[in-house]
Amino acid sequence: MTDRKKVVVVGGGTSGLAAAYSLLCSKEDVEVTVLEAADRAGGRIAGEEAGGFFIDTGAELFIESYGTVRKLAESLGIPLKRPPYVKGGLMYSNGRFHGIYMGGTWKQRLETLKTLLLFRVFSPKATLQMLRFIRMMRKRGNELSIEDPAKLAAFDSEGSFAAFMDDHSLGDYVNEASHVNIAAYTGAYPEEVGAAYGMSVLWNFLLNPAESVCLPERGVGSFATALVRATDEVTRLSTPVQRIVVEDGIARGAVTEAGENIAADAVICATPATTATWIVPGLPPDVRDVLSRISYSTVVKVVMGLDAELFPRGTFAAAFPKHSGSFLLGIANVKCVAPGVAPEGKNLLQAVTVGDNACSLLPLTDDEIETKVIGEVRKYFPAMPQTPHLARVYRWKEALCIASGGMLRDVLKIRTNGLDGVEGLFLAGDYMRVPISNGALESGIDAAGDSLSFLRQTAAGAD
């Protein structure tokens, strides 16, 4: 490229920062500007530090097969570790918690056996269905790679996870237990989530014995903080974009809400799909149609720093199935997976609500949410203090992209065909891949690569 070209990245979240970092690391002479609406960058993986605690405001789990996370972490100098983490945890049923772990210590294995054989959580029918489902997942495991949306898209039907399970006579297992796992990993329930996506998250996060959590010592937020720092100089905060300008089928820049017109030779739109549909008036109709069907779950999480350890040692989470009657989906001790998130002798707990329960908290003040959630935790764990060292409320109206049946397949078509009739515009975001943090980061890096190829082509054409 001869002249210095400009790339504008709209959205300084996960995918937008990955795009900017990738452009900055490239050998090309490009000017990069990230326009971020919020007063901080990082989006749904952002980290926060308070009172010696390192908080994940959004995502909290990376797993080993997150190849893009691994590469970026290495480049950013953030070591990832496999903690001594046991999948599963406590499940509330019939008035008390029962341990159900995928492996673990002998004590945990024995407890799991007792839970299963005495049918303390699942009925005999659901227990048999669970074993059948695990066998089925083992056979299909290589089709369920979280890194390979093309493979997943191949069997992404219009159907939901719930419908798929019903069709395979596995409905009792869903109703009694796996709905809580699906909700924990997607923020949505089995009726909302597509079959391929639901199976993929269950297999990769829970059932695949070879897969493990793999995190920075201070959690996902510390990875985001490093990415934010690496792109700090090119990021403009509190700069919401109103419109991406497309003229004569070519992206020309962005107009901010304040009315500033920022010209560019290429634009990367790294906002959620719901925003992309209105921010780019020039989107091709078939692309707009796919994007307008994409939705997000709602999550409210309350993060609390405390001295007490509420769970048995080595237990990450306690879950509340729908029939438990709690408005919480689960409580997790983040220190169990990322030991550096809390000072010595302290723990960092997060209580999560999703769906309607989360929506009903949204109108409340932070103090009201805190009081309600702490009261609920104390109902189940009396050792929970009334006033923890720290409590923070995080509201995610658009939390995790839901990937309903057919979405992965439709989005793959957009990636394959490109944005027909619009040049110089590239879409990034979790919805463009398997919708998790790794997918978002990968989509940003790909959009950066595509924008550089486009700029090279236009430069060659001009010569």
**Residues that bind ligand FAD in the complex, under the rule CB under 6 A:** 10-16, 35-38, 43-45, 58-61, 240-241, 270-272, 275, 279, 299, 301, 396, 399-400, 429-430, 435-438, 440
In the complex with ligand FAD, the residue whose CB is nearer, 122 or 431, is 431
Q: Minimum Å distance from CB 355 to ligand FAD?
A: 13
Nearer to ligand FAD (CB atom), residue 36 or residue 156:
36
Cβ closest to ligand FAD, residue 85 vs residue 458: 85
As measured in angstroms, the least distance from the Cβ of 289 to ligand FAD is 20
Give residues with Cβ within 8 angstroms of 391, minimum separation 6: 302, 303, 304, 305, 370, 374
User: 43 near 221, Cβ under 8 Å?
Assistant: no
Q: How far is the CB of 226 from ligand FAD (least distance, A)?
A: 15
Which among 297, 244, 295, 248 is positioned nearest to 267, based on CA atoms?
Answer: 244
CB 248 within 8 A of CB 254: no
Of the pair 219, 321, the CB lying nearest ligand FAD is at 219
Please name which of 76, 83, 30, 39 lies closest in space to residue 60, comparing C-alpha atoms. Answer: 83
* Neighbour count for residue 114 (Cβ, 10 Å): 13
Beta bridge partners of 96: 93
Give which of 416, 398, 96, 373 is closest to 277, Cα–Cα. Answer: 398
The strands making up 330-333's β-sheet, listed across from edge to edge, are 96-102, 87-93, 317-319, 330-333, 347-354, 299-306, 390-396
Q: How far is the CB of 371 from ligand FAD (least distance, A)?
A: 21
Tell me how far apart the alpha carbons of residues 13 and 447 are, in angstroms, rounded to a whole number: 14
∠376-381-386 over CA atoms, to 5°?
A: 65
Could you give the angle at the alpha carbon of 295 between the alpha carbons of 18 and 278, nearest 5°?
Answer: 75
Q: How far is CA 255 from CA 44, 78, 239, 423, in A?
A: 24, 35, 10, 18
In the complex with ligand FAD, the residue whose CB is nearer, 121 or 434, is: 434
Q: Find the shortest distance in angstroms from Cβ 18 to ligand FAD.
A: 8
Q: Which is nearer to ligand FAD, 227 or 377 (CB)?
A: 227
C-beta separation of 58 from 399 below 8 A: yes
> How far from 120 is each of 116, 124, 150, CA to CA, in Å?
7, 10, 39
Closest CA to 217 of 323, 67, 62, 353: 62
CA dihedral 353, 359, 364, 365 (to 10 degrees): 60
Alpha helix (H) ranges present in 239-321? 273-279, 285-292
Closer of 129 and 437 to ligand FAD (Cβ): 437
The distance of closest approach from Cβ of residue 176 to ligand FAD in the complex, given in angstroms and rounded to an integer, is 24
CB of 174 to ligand FAD, least distance (A): 21
Nearest residue to ligand FAD by CB is: 13
Residue 60 or 111 with smaller CB distance to ligand FAD: 60
Residue 259 neighbours by CB under 8 Å, 6+ apart: none
Q: Shortest Cβ distance from residue 57 to ligand FAD (Å)?
A: 8
Q: How far is the CB of 37 from ligand FAD (least distance, A)?
A: 4
- From residue 445, alpha-carbon distances to 85, 161, 386 in Å are 30, 30, 45
Q: Which is nearer to ligand FAD, 162 or 183 (CB)?
A: 183
Residue closer to ligand FAD, measured from CB, 299 or 317: 299
User: In the structure encoding, which two tokens stand for residue 8, read together?
Assistant: 């504008």
Query: What is the closest distance, in whole angstroms, from the C-beta atom of residue 90 to ligand FAD in the complex?
Result: 19
What φ, ψ does residue 265 adopt, rounded to 5°? -90, -20
Q: How far is the CB of 8 from ligand FAD (least distance, A)?
A: 10
Cβ distance to ligand FAD smaller for residue 11 or 88: 11
Of 240 and 314, which CB lies nearer to ligand FAD in the complex structure?
A: 240
Q: How far is the CB of 379 from ligand FAD (least distance, A)?
A: 23
